[in-house]
Amino acid sequence: MKKVVMIHTSAVSLNDLKELCRNIIPNVELVNLIDDSLLEEVKSNNGITASIISRMTTYVQIAEKLKADVIFNQCSSVGEAFDIAKKTTNIKTLKIDEPMAKKAVELGEKIAVVATVKSTMKPSCNLVASKALEAGKKVKITEYLVDGALDILMKEKNQEKHNQLCLDMIRKACEENDVVVLAQGSMTVLIPYLSDMPKPVLTSPKLAIETLKQYLEEADE
């Protein structure tokens, strides 16, 4: 059985990712490492710190000791720290939002990035830009911040208010762009409301787990 070690900054996407794995790659062993101090630190500093990089590197090393076949990073806000940490291992790695960013570049030139926490915006936009560079495609990336919505979801536990704020911003982004990227994995709670949007609206978890399946299949070849 293949093993995937997932590094999380909260438990908010844990059950969704487990369910996706059960449906898409049911024969995989999942190990979840959760450090909820990472997200608070990145939010407080509006970006990654040396301490975050150090801890992410430790978790990558733990994943290596656990003999992971793939190391999976769940949180967009610490994606750039994971990029540094993954250089310490030869194990295959995947960031949750990589496949989504790649698909966004394939679908359009005017790309909206909708985020619910400020610290996620820059790394998410940078990732889309890097995928456009890899594809040799010129894109225009526009930021749409639903400031405070993540706290409304996680701390206030008010999913309805979170959803309404996000959906209003997504509709605005659809009017002005070719494709919309939802930066947080936690935004999967919006999926039931996205089918009537006039433009493609991408979320990261399902695309990521489908790519994870490909990675594991490639390891068998």
Phi-psi region of 112 (alpha: psi -120 to 50; beta: other; left: phi over 0): beta
Collect all residues with Cβ–Cβ distance below 8 Å to 119 and sequence separation of at least 6.
42, 43, 45, 46, 47, 77
In the predicted model, is pLDDT for residue 126 greater than 80?
yes
Identify the pLDDT of residue 85: 98
Q: Give the Cβ contact number of residue 50 at 10 Å.
A: 8
Q: What is the mean pLDDT of residues 167-196?
A: 92
- Give the mean pLDDT of 47-67: 97
- Whole-number pLDDT of residue 13: 85
pLDDT at 7: 98
H or E stretch at 152: helix 149-154
CATH architecture of 2-96+206-220: 3-Layer(aba) Sandwich (3.40)
User: pLDDT category, 134, cuts 50, 70, 90?
Assistant: very high
| pLDDT of 186 | 76
- pLDDT, residue 27, reads 92
Give the pLDDT confidence score for residue 197 in this predicted structure. 96
Please report which confidence band the pLDDT of residue 188 belongs to, taking 50, 70 and 90 as the band edges.
Answer: confident
Tell me the mean pLDDT in the region 44-64: 96
Is residue 173 pLDDT above 80, yes or no? Answer: yes
pLDDT average, residue stretch 153-166 = 90
3-class secondary structure, 94: strand
Task: For the full predicted model, state whether its pTM sits above 0.95.
Answer: no
Task: Grade residue 221 by pLDDT with cuts at 50, 70 and 90.
Answer: low
Indicate the domain borders of the chain. 2-96+206-220, 98-203
Matching fold, domains 2-96+206-220 and 98-203: yes
Confidence of residue 210 (pLDDT cuts 50, 70, 90): very high
What is the per-residue pLDDT across 74-91, written as a single tens digit (0 to 9) for each? Answer: 998 899 999 999 999 999
User: How far, in Å, CA of 66 to CA of 118, rounded?
Assistant: 33
Does the pLDDT at position 154 exceed 90? Answer: no
Average pLDDT over residues 129-157: 93
Residues of the chain above pLDDT 90, percent: 79
Residue with tokens 């996205």: 194
In order, the DSSP letters of 47-87 are S--HHHHHHHHHHHHHHHHTT-SEEEE--GGGHHHHHHHGG
Question: Class assignment of domain 98-203?
Answer: alpha beta
* Average pLDDT over every residue of 79-108: 97
pLDDT in tens, 140-150: 999 999 988 88
DSSP one-letter code for 10: S
User: 189 or 93: whose pLDDT is higher?
Assistant: 93
> Which residue, chain included where needed, has tokens 């790695």?
93
